Amino acid sequence: KKFWDYVKKYKKLGFPVIKDGQLIGMMSNSKVKNIDSKKIPFLKVRDAMSPPIYVYPYDKVPKVLSIMDEIQCGRVLVINPSSKETLGIITKSDILKAYRIAKNIGDDEDKFKISGEFEEEISHISQKIHDKLKWPKIK
């Protein structure tokens, strides 16, 4: 029940499962939908969660998209490689939005570089957009 409360409240389809600051799994509404509704009130998160699927901030966009296609999911977690702390979630929509924004800002050389070589690390793409739009630096 609590899981569905989160889905309704945050309007998201999946959530990371964190224990003691470490990523231990993922809960998604598609996973829960396949469970007998009579069992849901008694179900523990650990029994319904999927293994964690994640990428690192330095992974390149094609790799991230490949992982999403492989697991047939439009989102993956981004974690810190040393601490294993969850930094966020990246979605296909995020990548497409970043691509569209990047194509429409900057000079022609930047536009060509971004549209022709969209193989940068996730954190670098985000930072370039933030720099162009004069937003605070991403850590």
Query: Long-range contact list for 66-74, CB < 8 A, 24+ apart?
Result: 68/92, 73/14, 73/28
Nearest by Cα to 88 from 11, 23, 1: 23
Is the same domain home to 128 and 77? Answer: yes
| Per-residue model confidence (pLDDT) at position 121 | 59
Residues of the chain falling short of pLDDT 50: 112, 116-117, 133, 135-139
| 68 and 42 within one domain | no
Cα 81 to Cα 57, 84, 134: the distances in Å are: 8, 5, 28
Cβ contact 124:61 at 8 Å: no
- Same structural domain for residues 78 and 109? yes
Do 9 and 60 sit in the same domain of this protein? no
pLDDT of residue 135: 44
Query: Residues 44, 84: one domain?
Result: no
What's CA 126's distance to the chain center, in Å?
A: 13
The model carries a pTM of 0.61
The DSSP H or E segment spanning 28 is: strand 22-28
Place of tokens 């194509």: 103
The dihedral through the CA atoms of 12, 15, 20, 21 has a sign that is negative
Residues 94, 107 within the same domain: yes
Domain limits for position 115: 56-139
Structurally, the chain folds into a number of domains equal to 2
Q: Are residues 32 and 65 in the same domain?
A: no
Q: Are residues 16 and 71 in the same domain?
A: no
Query: What one-character-per-residue DSSP string does 125-136 give?
Result: HHHHHHHHHTPP
Residues 102 and 118 in one domain: yes
pLDDT at 56: 93
Domain boundary among 10, 31, 52: 52
Judgement on whether residues 64 and 108 belong to the same structural domain of the protein: yes
Residues 45 and 78 in one domain: no
What's the CATH code of the domain at 95? Answer: 3.10.580.10
- Residue-wise pLDDT for 48-86, tens only, equals 888 888 999 889 888 998 998 888 888 888 888 998 888
Order of strands across the sheet that contains 54-55: 54-55, 75-79, 86-91
Spacing of C-alpha 138 from chain mean position: 16
